[in-house]
Structure 1
Amino acid sequence: MVAKKGNRGGVGGEDAEEELTRVPLQAILLADSFATLFRPITLERPKVLLPLVNAPMIDYTLAWLESAGVEEVFVFCCAHSKQVIDYLENSKWFGQPSFSVTTIESYNATSAGDALRLIYERHVIRGDFILVTGDTVSNMSLTQALKEHKERRRKDSNAVMTMVIKQSKPSPITHQSRLGTEELFMAIDPNTKQLLYYEDKADTLKGTVSLDKALLIDNSSISLHNDKQDCYIDICCPEVLSLFTDNFDYQHLRRHFVKGLLVDDIMGYKIFTHEIHSSYAARIDNYRSYDAVSKDIIQRWTYPLVPDVQFFGNCVTKLERQGTYRASDIGLSRSAKIGPFTVIGSGTTIGNYTEVANSVIGEGCIIGSNVSIDGCYIWDKVTIEDGCKLKHAIVCDGVVMKSGAILEAGVVLSFKVIIGQQFAVPAYSKVSLFQQPVTQDSDEELEYADNSSGNIEIASIPNTPEKLEEDLTTELSDSQIQAASEVGNGGAGFIWSVSEGGHEEGWRHSVAPIPADRLVEIIKNATDELEISNEDGNILPPSGELEPGSVNDSDEDVRDDFAHFEKEVEATFLRAVHENIKEDHVVLEVNSLRLSYNLTSSDCAGALFYAMMKLALDTPHGSPGELVKTVASVIAKWKKLLKYYLPSLDEEIEVILKFEEMCLESTKEYSSLFVQVLHLLYDKDILQEDAILNWAAEKEEADESDKLFLKQAEKFIQWLNEASEEE
């Protein structure tokens, strides 16, 4: 287990070693988000039990903790605590010999601070512990982070916490906007990795950062970052719990506790960071990050926490081509089309000529004929009648959509809502059998701590939310008739009015892609910020050290940056393919990435070319001839996009050099097809004759070992030369 592996690498006296061996690695899992961003769904079910690619969120967190060597987990339950406790007691997590799960229940905690104070009073934590929320998905190993944390603690007892962070380049699309979170600014000592400053954009004015002069005086070197993602995975010493008990104004883990410790000069407590690179870690904060993390799971970034691996006893799901997963017992019409990156749960039936793509469908759903589902999350036992259209929506358990109903982008239908025939639910609407709360909670962090119904009413169902579990078989009352009128003929549900944040919050935290006009605005603002020059006219980097005279431009860093850039361009391109994003919008995204990484047009061309060739390679094919045909169709469809980044012969030559590199390294299957693809790019007017001839002339001067593909292309080059002479 991780705790024991860490012991071998430690230094110190025998007593310290003995203590480390004796104390099992513990974790505190907060099963309450203390937030309202998942309403109205979380009025009826706790966030940690919401399905994430057909498995409750908390299962991902527990599966990771178990795999990382944690031996004891204390699950703090507040909102809908009975549901969480019942689920865990009936799950595989209870009763395991080497992994104990204990629940701690509270009815009146309104913040993470309250939860940690209550846990402190129980005296259950006996050593360093992992602090995590039950909406966290990760596959990282804790070994190195624990080792670093323990070694720091031996040297400095004030090192009370290690925060896990992840590199995330500041593209406005693939970073903050992708997860729907605020932009985060951190100052870190590059030598010790100590956290010196922490601020999210919500608390800053137009993205500016004000650093205390004392911070600059006391620290010889500071790295200021807006390219890090907070994974909300913390390694804490037991003193952290007592600090919350000593400071009752500490409520929020970051805004109060972390920032409080950073400005406290008296006690001298320190927080350090541990950055992960190849591992995955993300927290599901809102509907947008729910969508992003779901896609990451389906695309296997979270391996082994993926649908076809039995990591918590989910039903047998088979991985098929193009990232499609199907349970073994689904009923699928022959004329139905299942598109890429789709998961279909057990017992679900899909009717004639229905099309499903980029979606997750739960268990026991009945989907009729001529239905269109794109980019949606359909939970369990949902009925969708003939002719319905759904795009980028969340549909909870037991919902019924009557024939011809339409869900516009960003819609959320809560449990057992009924949408009437032909009714179109407007974009970003939230529909629930609960009426919208009349008054807002006094504390913005409070999700729904009280397990009673409070100010919330549900049509014709008095008493508690648990009554929702009963079938709605009684006759309609006046309030239900009112609810029905809101969602069409034969429907049942209230459409909630737009929140104070308005449509701005609607699209920012939605599962729907960012609207085109907003996308242009975001990228323009980000581009303007990146192009702000200093007095010397140099573009300021998005993240860098504030140490005088320091330069951080090693070849290794440049290679790492370019590798990150290529991955982000590929992810942007694949999203454009699967979500039918227009070329103009892809250009905007790639341009913002180019500015973020301070790269050239030829770098963009090379990265896009790689993404296109990789797409063709990943598309099922038999013979080499079929692969070339697939390349031809991909290039033909995206020719305009690629040509945008080929303004001169120099960029075209760079594409040929990139293709050579691919044939030798990342996509070797193309090595025998080099000439055919080169000829294809010439025929499709991607590469001009002069670019190919200039490349050949340059290669003539190269070493023999570097002429492999030039020799393959000799006849083609000869043909081009002869054609040129004839002209």
Structure 2
Amino acid sequence: MDLSTLAVMDLKGVILAAGEGRRCRPLTQTRSKVMLPVGNRPFMEYVIRALAANDIKEIYVVVGYQKERVMDYFEDGIDFDVNITYIEQNELLGTAHALLKVKPYVDEEFLVVNGDNLIDKRAIAELVMAEGENVILSALRRHSGDYGVLIIDNGLVKEIIEKPGRPCSGILNTGAYKFTPEVFDALKQAPISERGSYELPETIMHMILEGVEVRPQITKGIWADAIFAWDLLNANNLALGMDEPKILGGVEEGAVIKGPVHVGAGSIIRSGSYLVGPISIGEDCDIGPNAVILPSTSVGNSAKIGPLTEVRNSILMNDARIGSSSIVSDSVIGASCTLGDQVVVETGDCVVEIEGLFQRAEFGAIIADDVSAGARVLASPGTVVGTKACIGSGAAISGMIKRDSRVIC
């Protein structure tokens, strides 16, 4: 199949964007998961761009948690060359319940995509052209047991094992589907899941048991998810390779830029700074002088990185500030955070408690929006800081720091 000459049918797209993404807390305390930025764009923007690139211009977005942020950012879709209709899921009762909300708007074959995944136009094209009326876009991955695994026999899905809970390799359910309107009859009879909600995988499994053929389409395109907040770093690395970098801002004499580095309009890279891509720097940022930014880093709009500070493999959201002589590695820094001078975020193996479960990971810190930290703060690996926490100068922090906390040394 030659995807470059693909003739795409007139399909409608449905984006499921109602949930919070609780396991990405505390970053989702102030925004839904679909609005978490990777490569300086929200997850859902990549979904919309992938649909638009395949000439899927009529898009229905099911919203719920923090819906205003989604609607304010994407509006009617005209800036993304699509037409968006918003449908509200008042009660967050699962993905099957969310999709059923779209029934009055769809009377032909359509696509369903989770708004909180990173996906490219190739993956969407493969789904569009896949044979069969009911298709699951799938991916070959080794994973930690947090995804649905497909059991395939003679080219058909025979079973969906939801979140086996142990590391394994397999064919994963990406959460992207192609359906005909007949799926709505199955959705009306959706079984309740162990979580007490109505979910698409359980509904599809019920369809399979009733004799409906469901086919997998293994993608060769880009697909990634972020189960936990630190998974954003991997998705960010992939996203940085999806856009063509441009130098739109100013670069002072003596600054060194190597590899693919994007510098947004109005930003300034000051003398002596050293940048190695892939990097994306948003608009109206102030970097340096003598700052070091190393690969797989995104810096949001109106952010500032002070002199002699080093940042690597990290995400800084809009309006974040880092003072001078600081070191930040493998971390996510939320919007409007302020970190003082000589702040050090260590990185390494750690165990983190999320939603009552202990997860082993390797990262520096996850710092939610509007956090302030004074000078000479030391953050141990696996530090998670809630929204609007205040960390005093000279403090050493680790573990979970709750929302609105005050930490003094």
TM-score range relative to shorter protein: 0.7 to 0.9
Count of aligned pairs between the two proteins: 366
Are 1:423 and 2:378 an aligned pair?
Answer: no
Name the residue aligned to 1:162: 135
SS in 2 for 1:103: strand
Q: Shift in Å at residue 83 of structure 1?
A: 3.0
- Closer/same/farther in 2, CA of residues 72 and 382 from structure 1, 3 Å limit: same
Quick check: which has more Rg, 1 or 2? 1
The TM-score with structure 1 as length reference comes to: 0.46
Question: Any conservation in 1 of the 2:186–2:207 contact (CA below 8 Å)?
Answer: no
Name the residue aligned to 2:217: 274
- Closer/same/farther in 2, CA of residues 147 and 370 from structure 1, 3 Å limit: closer
**Partner deviation per Cα, 1:575-634 (whole Å, 9 max, x = no partner):** xxxxxxxxxxxxxxxxxxxxxxxxxxxxxxxxxxxxxxxxxxxxxxxxxxxxxxxxxxxx
Are 1:370 and 2:325 an aligned pair?
Answer: yes
- Greater share of helix residues, 1 or 2? 1
* Cα distance between partner residues in 2 of 1:33 and 1:425: 30
* Cα distance between partner residues in 1 of 2:278 and 2:125: 31
**Partner deviation per Cα, 1:690-723 (whole Å, 9 max, x = no partner):** xxxxxxxxxxxxxxxxxxxxxxxxxxxxxxxxxx
Q: Shift in Å at residue 124 of structure 1?
A: 0.3
**Aligned-residue CA RMSD (Å):** 3.2
Name the residue aligned to 1:333: 288
Are 1:237 and 2:237 an aligned pair?
Answer: no
Q: For structure 1, which runs of at least 5 residues remain unmatched after alignment?
A: 8-19, 153-159, 169-174, 208-224, 434-482, 490-727
Q: For structure 2, which runs of at least 5 residues remain unmatched after alignment?
A: 249-262, 347-363
Are 1:182 and 2:182 an aligned pair?
Answer: no
* Aligned sequence identity (%): 19
Name the residue aligned to 1:292: 234
- Closer/same/farther in 2, CA of residues 186 and 328 from structure 1, 3 Å limit: closer
Name the residue aligned to 1:360: 315
Are 1:128 and 2:102 an aligned pair?
Answer: no
Q: Shift in Å at residue 308 of structure 1?
A: 5.1
- Greater share of strand residues, 1 or 2? 2
- Closer/same/farther in 2, CA of residues 249 and 345 from structure 1, 3 Å limit: closer
AA of the residue aligned to 1:187? I
* Cα distance between partner residues in 1 of 2:391 and 2:224: 34
- Closer/same/farther in 2, CA of residues 336 and 182 from structure 1, 3 Å limit: same
AA of the residue aligned to 2:85? T
Name the residue aligned to 2:164: 202
Q: Shift in Å at residue 99 of structure 1?
A: 1.8
* Cα distance between partner residues in 2 of 1:332 and 1:35: 32
* Cα distance between partner residues in 2 of 1:94 and 1:256: 32
AA of the residue aligned to 1:71? K
AA of the residue aligned to 1:240? V
SS in 2 for 1:422: coil
Name the residue aligned to 2:83: 100
Task: Give matches, 1:493-642, under 5 Å.
Answer: none
* Cα distance between partner residues in 2 of 1:96 and 1:368: 35
Name the residue aligned to 2:342: 387
Question: Any conservation in 2 of the 1:53–1:307 contact (CA below 8 Å)?
Answer: no
SS in 2 for 1:37: helix
Question: Any conservation in 1 of the 2:118–2:239 contact (CA below 8 Å)?
Answer: no
* Cα distance between partner residues in 1 of 2:175 and 2:101: 20
**Partner deviation per Cα, 1:475-533 (whole Å, 9 max, x = no partner):** xxxxxxxx42xx226xxxxxxxxxxxxxxxxxxxxxxxxxxxxxxxxxxxxxxxxxxxx
SS in 2 for 1:296: helix
Question: Any conservation in 2 of the 1:390–1:407 contact (CA below 8 Å)?
Answer: yes
* Cα distance between partner residues in 2 of 1:242 and 1:322: 49
Q: Shift in Å at residue 73 of structure 1?
A: 0.8
Name the residue aligned to 1:148: 130
Q: Shift in Å at residue 425 of structure 1?
A: 2.1
Q: Shift in Å at residue 76 of structure 1?
A: 0.5
**Partner deviation per Cα, 1:142-164 (whole Å, 9 max, x = no partner):** 44432333xx3xxxxxxx41011
Question: Any conservation in 2 of the 1:364–1:380 contact (CA below 8 Å)?
Answer: yes
* Cα distance between partner residues in 1 of 2:336 and 2:126: 43
* Cα distance between partner residues in 2 of 1:322 and 1:146: 33
* Cα distance between partner residues in 2 of 1:371 and 1:96: 38
AA of the residue aligned to 1:408? S
Q: Shift in Å at residue 320 of structure 1?
A: 5.9
Residue among 209, 213, 229 paired with 1:263: 209
Question: Any conservation in 2 of the 1:61–1:138 contact (CA below 8 Å)?
Answer: yes
- Closer/same/farther in 2, CA of residues 342 and 80 from structure 1, 3 Å limit: closer
AA of the residue aligned to 1:176? H
Question: Any conservation in 2 of the 1:61–1:134 contact (CA below 8 Å)?
Answer: yes
Question: Any conservation in 2 of the 1:33–1:133 contact (CA below 8 Å)?
Answer: no
Residue among 46, 55, 75 paired with 2:32: 46
- Closer/same/farther in 2, CA of residues 166 and 140 from structure 1, 3 Å limit: farther
- Closer/same/farther in 2, CA of residues 85 and 324 from structure 1, 3 Å limit: closer
Residue among 52, 55, 70 paired with 1:66: 52
**Partner deviation per Cα, 1:152-209 (whole Å, 9 max, x = no partner):** 3xxxxxxx410111223xxxxxx314xxx4375432134xx21112214537xx78xx
* Cα distance between partner residues in 2 of 1:404 and 1:56: 32
Residue among 398, 403, 407 paired with 1:432: 403
Q: Shift in Å at residue 271 of structure 1?
A: 0.8
Question: Any conservation in 1 of the 2:372–2:389 contact (CA below 8 Å)?
Answer: yes
